[in-house]
Amino acid sequence: MAESGNDPEVLCLGETMSLVAPAVPVPLERARTFTLSAGGAESNVAIHLAALGHRVGWASRVGDDPLGRRMLAAIAAAGVDTGLVEVRPDAPTGVYFKDPGPAGTKVYYYRAGSAASTMDEDFLVDERLDAPRLLHISGITPALSDGCDRLVRRLLTRERRARITFDVNYRPALWPVEQAGPRLRELAQLADVVFVGLDEAATLWGVETAEDVRKLLDGPDVVVVKDGADAAYALSTETVIVPAPTVQVVEPVGAGDAFAAGYLSGVLRGEDGIRCLRLGHILAAHSLLSTEDHMPLPDPGAVAEWLGCDEERWRNLSFGGGVASKEGE
């Protein structure tokens, strides 16, 4: 299928649920007011990419219920094409809750039998998959059902024009590490670009360094390894390392999706490895400043300045209160 000006640059495919979170970062059982929004790894990436000015679509299934309709409207209002989302009258929209606390955020999922879990290998026809430059999927989808597992395998093994980007996104609540480890490695090996946290790679595969991850995943063109608050690595024929800026973290869930979107935006713009990783860090930092999964982007002029600053200033950037500054200012 030939690409047209209306086709998305990126198609993100995967489950999204209604997200209930305390309006302020307090434990769920003590919260008095809540926010209701759309939460899903792939749609989060889509929303961030749309905010960065890219043509992006999201494909999934939702229930024919108020939560599904509200979610569709919210994602479409963020500038994402939802034309490939199917509404199912026979299955509900999933829901999950964030529970912030001093030891970190816990997440409670209510997704059994969700509309998204009914996706299978017949979900999308090939011509819709061949239009975008990038097809973004994650390791959450194959854990939802046997049909979803077959869908992901089909996406990764069919002859394709779009490059596939795969975020490992291991979720212990969905499947045990003994099952997930070999399966996620198998799927990651078939992708063109892979995102994985060093902590989850250690859990899944027993590795210790970003270089260990690259040795294990030698199939993709690029493996992007996120080492929490320390640094991010892009490993291909060479290794690019960019330290993470300092962030006054409010709540961490969703930051990985923001990072992936920033990095992919850099790829779509033809940026070099350093600027791709920096843009990932910038978006992740702003996600960390809120209990919401997506924060409004900072001023484009400020983003351009941070992307182009020298290494010393980059190392001294500190994000907090919605702004970035040099440490000590």
- 103 found inside a domain: yes
- 2 found inside a domain: no
Count of domains observed in the chain: 1
CATH of the domain at 282: 3.40.1190.20
- The pLDDT tens digits for 157-186 are 998 889 999 999 999 989 999 999 999 999
- 329 found inside a domain: no
Query: Roughly how many angstroms between the first and final C-alpha of the chain, as a whole number?
Result: 52
| Residues paired with 166 in a beta bridge | 137, 194
Give residue 300's identity as a one-letter amino acid code.
P
**pLDDT of 279 above 80:** yes
Is 176 strand, coil or helix?
Answer: coil
pLDDT at residue number 285? 81
- 131 found inside a domain: yes
* Confidence at 3, pLDDT banded by 50, 70, 90: very low
pLDDT at residue number 327? 40
- 325 found inside a domain: no
- pTM, entire model: 0.89
Comparison of pLDDT for 119 and 5, the residue scoring more: 119
Q: Which residues are catalytic?
A: 257
- 15 found inside a domain: yes
pLDDT at residue number 291? 53
Distance CA 231, CA 272 (A): 17
Is 77 strand, coil or helix?
Answer: helix
Residue 120: exposure state from Cβ atoms within 10 A (0-12, 13-18, ≥19): middle
Q: Range of 106's domain?
A: 10-319
Contact between residue 16 and residue 42 where contact means Cβ atoms under 8 Å apart: yes
pLDDT at residue number 242? 93
- 1 found inside a domain: no
CB count in 10 Å sphere of residue 111: 18
Distance CA 102, CA 114 (A): 31
- The pLDDT tens digits for 80-128 are 999 999 999 999 999 999 898 877 788 899 988 999 999 999 998 878 8
Residue 208: exposure state from Cβ atoms within 10 A (0-12, 13-18, ≥19): exposed
Q: State the average pLDDT for the chain.
A: 89
Distance CA 321, CA 164 (A): 35
Q: What ranges make up the beta strands (E) of the chain?
A: 10-13, 17-22, 34-39, 56-63, 81-88, 95-99, 106-110, 134-138, 163-167, 193-197, 222-227, 231-235, 239-243, 246-247, 317-320, 323-326
